[in-house]
Amino acid sequence: MLRPAVLLALVALVPASSALAGCARGEEFPDRSAVVELDGDRRTYDVADCGLDGQTIFLVARADDGAVVQAVLGLEDDDETGIPASTGVTVDLDPSRTDTRFAAFGTEAWERRGTGGPVPGEITSARLRGSRIQLSGRAVPVDAQDRPIDRAEPVEVSVDARCDEAS
C-alpha cells in the first residue's frame, strides 16, 4: 500500500508529467478510469491518484463498491517500456474483509517494499502506452500484509488504466 505522503506527492506530479499525456481521447476508454480483470471478472474502477516519479508510475483506483487497486510500474529509460521485475499490483475486492486480496509482483518491486517473504504472483507484461498504464500477470490470494496464502492457486490479472488529466 502506498503511504499518504507518497500519494500527496503523486497528485502534484500528475500535471507535470508529460509521459502520462498524449493518448487520444475517446468514449471507449474514459480518462481517469481503470479496467481490471481478475480471474475472468472484469470491473471498471475510478482512478483516485496516479503519477510519475522518475522511472516509476503509481496508480490507485477505486470501484463504487469499495474495491481498491494499487499498482506500481517501473519504466526503462525510454519512458514507455515497462519492467515486469519492477512492477506490482494489489487488488482488494472488499477492504472490510481479510480474504479478498490478490497480489502479483516482480522481484525488484517486492524487494523495494521491504516486507520480505516470498514474492506473491508474477508480472508477465508491463508498459506505458501514451496515458495508458498496462500490466498483466498471475496474482495469488494474499493476507493483509500481502503475503501469499499457502497453496494458493494463481489467477490471471490485468490492469489497463488511463491517467492523463489531473484530479
Q: What is the pLDDT of residues 26-55, one digit of tens each?
A: 446 788 999 999 999 999 999 999 998 889
Number of separate domains in the chain:
1
Within a domain: 114? yes
Q: How far apart are CA 10 and CA 3, in angstroms?
A: 11
| For residue 9, pLDDT beyond 80 | no
Q: What is the mean pLDDT of residues 63-78?
A: 96
Q: Is residue 149 part of a domain?
A: yes
Residue 165: closest CA among 16, 27, 32: 32
The answer to whether residue 22 is domain-embedded is no
**57: CATH:** 2.40.128
Average pLDDT over residues 142-148: 91
Question: Does any domain span residue 23?
Answer: no
| Bigger pLDDT: 17 vs 46 | 46
Tens digit of each residue's pLDDT (9 = 90 or more) over 110-126:
999 988 899 999 999 99
Whether 19 maps to a domain, the answer reads: no
pLDDT score at 56: 94
CA gap 58, 96 in Å, rounded = 23
What range defines the domain where residue 66 resides? 4-12+31-162
